[in-house]
């Protein structure tokens, strides 16, 4: 299987998913859009994964590559009907590519937080085998304010009602992170935009200790990421048989 990855920051990569793909012998190709990498011919790929980044959807007129990315996602999901997974910014890009609207949050959501699966989420194949209440890692100051037509909410919490969505039978977005590794917090803290939202959300003292707060949960996040990875690959296998 060939996986195409859209990245918007070099340190916001697929994390643990890379290990799972390598173990299974899948090929994957990362395109660093913010650095000017062109979107390749997407036809040879089986799965499109879009990661997070410090950019916001209301910057799309300032960032020509974001407009091109939205067009590519729309082609992939709507015209070709191929499986898609968006994480954080990738989740928001899916919504806007399909006609939804992303808006600023009143307060950024950063750090450990539970998300709760909705009734639709309990029945969804991407989240199969996961608990109804799941711990997540959050780092975002925007959220989906208006869902695209046909989208359903799979998980929610008080800070952000659209923590996970599905469109059709093949396109998913997760506002939260489970792919994080032991270097993620330190890597992201070095990004000025992320550091500012971290301090705003948690205060300087707790912000400084976020890495230590997250460390005991990395094993559980990796297990959740593996389950999600297995689930989406199962969806891919079922789709290929149809």
> Considering only CA atoms, which of 184, 68, 165 is closest in space to residue 117?
165
Catalytic residue among 12, 96, 109, 179: 179
State the catalytic residue, choosing from 13, 69, 88, 96: 88
Q: What is the largest CA-CA distance in the chain?
A: 53
Query: What whole-number distance in Å separates Cα of residue 71 and Cα of residue 135?
Result: 32
Active site residue 107: no
Residue for token pair 């799941």: 134
Q: Is 177 a catalytic residue?
A: yes
Reduced 3-state DSSP string for 199-217: HHHHHHHHHHCHHHHHHHH
Task: Report the half-sphere exposure of 97 (CA within 13 A, side-chain side).
Answer: 27
Among this protein's residues, is 160 annotated catalytic?
Answer: no
Catalytic residues: 88, 177, 179
């Amino acid at each position: 299987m060939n996986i195409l990855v859209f990245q918007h920051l070099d340190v916001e990569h697929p994390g643990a998913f890379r290990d799972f793909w390598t173990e299974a012998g899948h090929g994957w190709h990362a395109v660093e859009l913010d650095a000017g990498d062109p979107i390749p011919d997407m036809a040879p790929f089986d799965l499109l994964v879009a990661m997070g980044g410090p950019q916001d959807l209301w910057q799309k007129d300032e960032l020509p590559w974001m407009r091109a990315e939205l067009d590519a996602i729309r082609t992939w999901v709507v015209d070709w009907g191929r499986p898609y997974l968006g994480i954080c910014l990738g989740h928001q890009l899916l919504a806007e590519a399909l006609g939804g609207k992303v808006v600023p949050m009143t307060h950024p959501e950063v750090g450990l937080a539970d998300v709760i699966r909705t009734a639709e989420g309990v029945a969804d194949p991407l989240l199969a085998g996961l608990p109804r209440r799941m711990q997540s890692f959050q780092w975002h100051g925007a959220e989906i304010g208006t869902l695209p037509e046909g989208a359903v909410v799979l998980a929610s919490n008080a800070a952000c009602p659209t923590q996970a969505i599905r469109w059709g039978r093949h396109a998913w977005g997760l506002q939260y992170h489970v792919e994080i590794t032991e270097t993620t917090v330190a890597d992201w803290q070095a990004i000025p935009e992320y550091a500012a939202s971290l301090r705003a959300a948690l205060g300087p003292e707790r912000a400084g200790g976020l890495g230590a707060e997250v460390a005991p949960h990395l094993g559980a996040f990796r297990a959740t990421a593996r389950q999600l990875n297995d689930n989406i690959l199962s969806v891919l296998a079922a789709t290929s048989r149809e």
